[in-house]
Amino acid sequence: LLDALLKRHSVSAAARELDLPQPTASHGLARLRKALGDPLLVRARDGMEPTPRAEAIAGVVQQLLELRRDLAEGGQTFSPDRLKREFIIAGSDIAHLVVLTALHSAARFEAPHTSYRALTLSGDEMVSALETGHVDIAVGAYPSLVAGIKTQRLYQEEYLCFGKEGHPFIKSGETDDFMAADHIVVSTKGMAHAHRAVERALLDKIHPDRIRIVASSFLVALAACFESDLILTAPARVIGRLAEVYGLRAVRPPILMEAFEVRQYWHARNQDDPPHRWCDSSGTKVLSARM
């Protein structure tokens, strides 16, 4: 129970993960608080957050659980269809769109009792969340993640410009029309994401008067592009599929924008954990067939 509480920062979420009635989980937290002489979780603006004492013991709790699991399994074969677990996936909105649907597709038949929760975190928060186990896997392009974080390539991504059919730049693809167009720019400031380089390139090249909207979400930006005459520069594979639904057209950007690798990240501690290995490999398998 303590491990689930420290990962989820929520009594109700911990109860769901362990398949316990919420009053039982609340009573368990009260007993833990009394035994350890610490509140462990305290109320904050966005829910509950761990105390310094709770953060200090989180790693020890994880190690003890791993040791108990190793002793209990005694070499038994891992079976995904018996796995009952919620995996927490960190990333941007489009990373979640791609990966959560891929994992759900795999889990429907292989691990029907698993579920998935999406989180969006800053770069520093993501490292800490992976280290403490609050996040199971991060997905995206985070070149600055530190040692101790394992990584695997999922697919290669590039950029296209999206806009309405008939827009002067969409018709010509010329630099002059690009510079004369009004734009929506997606900002990933604070997320340590590779898109930050493209964001800077757009802000450097386009006159400030031509940047009409700065959005924090690619999906919001795409909807705004559909409702306006704005040009959106965004990752091609995911946004391109959705743009077709909106009836938007795509052209290559007239300024250099480096392609990047979308990868999944996990902490080295989970390298040999069978549920993590299943989750890692399932997402990779489905995405390699789709992308």
Residues 133 and 275 in one domain: yes
In this structure, the answer to whether residues 150 and 102 fall within a common structural domain is yes
CB proximity list for 105: less than 8 A, separation 6 or greater: 286
Regarding whether 125 and 173 lie in a shared domain, the answer is no
CA dist., res. 112 & res. 291, Å (int): 24
Residue 165 sits in the same domain as residue 289:
no
pLDDT value, residue 288 = 65
Q: Which of 75, 95, 124 is the last residue of a domain?
A: 75
- The tens place of each residue's pLDDT in the chain, 291 residues long, gives 777 787 777 888 888 877 788 888 888 888 888 888 888 888 877 778 888 887 877 776 776 676 666 555 555 567 888 888 889 999 888 888 888 888 888 888 888 999 999 998 877 788 888 888 889 999 988 877 766 788 888 888 899 999 999 999 999 999 999 999 999 999 877 665 778 888 999 999 999 999 999 998 999 999 999 999 999 999 998 899 899 999 999 999 999 888 888 888 988 888 878 888 888 888 777 676 666
d(CA 33, CA 50): 12
CATH code at 182?
3.40.190.10
* Domain, as residue range, for 38: 1-75
230 and 282 belong to one structural domain? no
Question: What is the pLDDT at residue 70?
Answer: 58
Q: Which of 15, 44, 75 is the endpoint of a domain?
A: 75
Q: Are residues 166 and 227 in the same domain?
A: yes
268 and 240 in a single domain? The answer is no
Residues 276 and 247 grouped into a single domain: no
Q: Do residue 59 and residue 116 come from a single domain?
A: no
Long-range contacts of 172-179, Cβ-Cβ distance < 8 Å, separation of 24 or more: 173/251, 173/252, 173/254, 174/254, 175/254, 175/255, 178/231, 178/253, 178/254, 178/255, 179/205, 179/206, 179/207, 179/210
* Number of structural domains found in the chain: 3
- Report the pLDDT value the prediction gives residue 160, as an integer from 0 to 100: 96
Domain boundary among 29, 51, 75: 75
**SS3 label, residue 77:** coil
CATH code of the domain in which 5 resides: 1.10.10.10
Same domain, 115 and 252: no
Residues 84 and 59 in one domain: no
Q: Where are the beta strands (DSSP E) in 51-131?
A: 86-91, 115-119
Does residue 232 share a domain with residue 203? yes
